[in-house]
Structure 1
Amino acid sequence: MVRLYTEKLHISYGERLIVKNLSVNIPDKKITTIIGSNGCGKSTLLKAITRIISHQSGSVILDGENISTEHTKSLAKKMAILPQTPESASGLTVGELVSYGRFPYQKGFGRLSKEDYKMIDWALEVTGTKDYKFRPVDSLSGGQRQRVWIAMALAQETDIIFLDEPTTYLDMAHQLEVLELLQKLNKEQERTVVMVLHDLNQAARFADYIIALKDGEIVKAGKCEEVITQDVLKKVFHIDAEIGRDPRTNKPMCITYNLLRGDN
């Protein structure tokens, strides 16, 4: 069963069409990564699916309902998004920031309930950020802050989590730390994870399903072995790639590549 999919989606900024006639299924309880060159529509697609921006035509369907008709709080109980550059958390402690994830469940004057505090502590625990609860977010390292933002998304208690380039600005160790955390959440709690990644080998290593975009259209969507191929990478990135196998995961990986010149 597919819970989330798009049908003939068109998304524009002004008069510029970014995403064109895009229909895609998002596998449930799997990790999906979206790859493509800068400006191809990856982030735009994520924002449209999560209703941060509107689409001009087509539809996004979740659990049989068009998300355009969903009440905001109801939708926020089903899907969470961590943007590429989260808003500043200046002046907030870690616990305060994570508590924002409970907004969809608050009533009346917005006071936190016992259940809210329970979910906040759980999110801090599962992301390994419990020891930072009373520390200012600004005092943390990049990797620590990213885990705290993920904790906020988890506190939202959704089955589906979207992340726009969650490894941006992180060093290699912290990138791996974040991706392994997301993989753990998927495997142990069956969270559906959808994320934009620039690194092809990270996308192949951690994804069950990959969507390759070019100029707002899908070039190929499928399992890693179907997408991380010489032909697909040539079409999407205009490179001549040498594809091998990751000796640790046996997933396909881009060993090296050359930029294609001219019309080749």
Structure 2
Amino acid sequence: MIRLYTDALNVGYDGHLIVKNLSIEIPDKQITTIIGPNGCGKSTLLKAITRIISHDSGAVVLDGKNISKENTKWLAKKMAILPQTPESAGGLTVGELVSYGRFPYQKGFGRLTKKDVEVIDWALEVTGISDFKYRPVDELSGGQRQRVWIAMALAQETEMIFLDEPTTYLDMAHQLEVLELLQKLNQEQERTIIMVLHDLNQAARFADYMIALKEGNIVKAGNCEEVITHRVLKSVFQIDAEIGRDPRTNKPMCITYNLLKGEHKNEETLDPSRTVVHAVH
């Protein structure tokens, strides 16, 4: 089922087009990961879909409605986004920042209801930061602050959550905790998760659907088997990758790679056998 899609979307800055004539469908109730080199338009795409920035032409359609014509509260009940570099939360405690996720549901003077408090406490608990509720956000480490922002997105209780590199600043264990939490939200609550990830193997491990971008265009979109291939990674990242199997998930993974140089960058004929090699043990 497709509830969210873009139609010939063009997005740019200062006359420079970043996302180019992009038409893409986001599978509902699945995890979609977006991969691509720096500057290819990943973050721009997320911001345009969630209306943080406007688009030059085309449309973003959710539940049959052009989101550019809908009011902010309607959209905020449908989508939450964790940007790559969240704004400063100077002077706020953890609990206060997470409470901002309840904005779409507040009326009148914006006082928190019993339901609001319950949702805030739940978001703090599932992200492992309940003990920090009354601490200033500025006093936390980078990894702890990242979990606070994720808790705020969860407190928004949207059907769709967009995250731009949510594992930034986190060590390996906390990266896995965050990604497993998002997977749990997807599986148990049927949240649609769309996230940008730099780590190709994490992107493949947790994704139902993947989108590979380069220079504002889609190189390949599909399941992990279709995207994590020698050919696609060569085209997107200019690397000569060896693709194997994750022994725990059986999903494709990039074992190792070399940078492509000279004429090899532009070769079009590739040996299909390079797509699947021996599994990692």
The aligned counterpart of 2:7 is 7
Deviation at 1:92, TM superposition (A): 1.4
The aligned counterpart of 1:259 is 259
Q: Equivalents in 2 of 1:44, 1:112: separation in Å?
A: 33
Q: Equivalents in 1 of 2:243, 2:160: separation in Å?
A: 31
Give the match's secondary structure for 1:110.
Answer: coil
Q: Are 1:222 and 2:217 counterparts? A: no
Deviation at 1:138, TM superposition (A): 2.4
User: Residue 143 of structure 1 contacts residue 178 of structure 1 at CA under 8 Å; is this kept in 2?
Assistant: no
Q: Equivalents in 2 of 1:259, 1:216: separation in Å?
A: 22
Could you state the TM-score of these two structures normalised by the residue count of structure 1?
Answer: 0.97
The aligned counterpart of 1:142 is 142
Q: Are 1:124 and 2:161 counterparts? A: no
Q: Name the % identity.
A: 82
User: What whole-Å deviation, never above 9, does each CA across 1:17-64 have from its counterpart, x for those lacking one?
Assistant: 111111111111111010000100000000000000011111100011
| Partner AA of 2:219 in structure 1 | V
Q: Are 1:205 and 2:205 counterparts? A: yes
User: What whole-Å deviation, never above 9, does each CA across 1:145-198 have from its counterpart, x for those lacking one?
Assistant: 222211111111101000001112222222112111111111111111100011
User: Residue 146 of structure 2 contacts residue 169 of structure 2 at CA under 8 Å; is this kept in 1?
Assistant: no
- Structure 2 counterparts to residues 1-264 of structure 1, below 5 A: 1-264=1-264
Give the match's secondary structure for 1:52.
Answer: coil
Aligned length in residues: 264
Give the match's secondary structure for 1:263.
Answer: helix
Could you state the TM-score of these two structures normalised by the residue count of structure 2?
Answer: 0.91
Q: Equivalents in 1 of 2:21, 2:263: separation in Å?
A: 26
Q: Alignment RMSD, CA only?
A: 1.1
User: Residue 42 of structure 2 contacts residue 196 of structure 2 at CA under 8 Å; is this kept in 1?
Assistant: yes
Structure number, greater radius of gyration: 2
Give the match's secondary structure for 1:104.
Answer: helix
User: Residue 102 of structure 1 contacts residue 156 of structure 1 at CA under 8 Å; is this kept in 2?
Assistant: yes
Gaps of 5+ in 1: none
User: Residue 5 of structure 2 contacts residue 61 of structure 2 at CA under 8 Å; is this kept in 1?
Assistant: yes
Deviation at 1:119, TM superposition (A): 1.5
Deviation at 1:228, TM superposition (A): 0.2
Deviation at 1:122, TM superposition (A): 1.9
The aligned counterpart of 2:267 is none
User: What whole-Å deviation, never above 9, does each CA across 1:44-90 have from its counterpart, x for those lacking one?
Assistant: 00000000001111110001100001100110010000000111122
Gaps of 5+ in 2: 265-281
Deviation at 1:259, TM superposition (A): 0.5
User: Residue 33 of structure 2 contacts residue 203 of structure 2 at CA under 8 Å; is this kept in 1?
Assistant: yes
The aligned counterpart of 2:279 is none
User: Residue 143 of structure 2 contacts residue 169 of structure 2 at CA under 8 Å; is this kept in 1?
Assistant: no
Q: Equivalents in 2 of 1:128, 1:186: separation in Å?
A: 18
Give the match's secondary structure for 1:4.
Answer: strand
Quick check: 240-249 or 116-125, which moved more?
116-125
Q: Equivalents in 1 of 2:48, 2:74: separation in Å?
A: 17
Give the match's secondary structure for 2:108.
Answer: coil
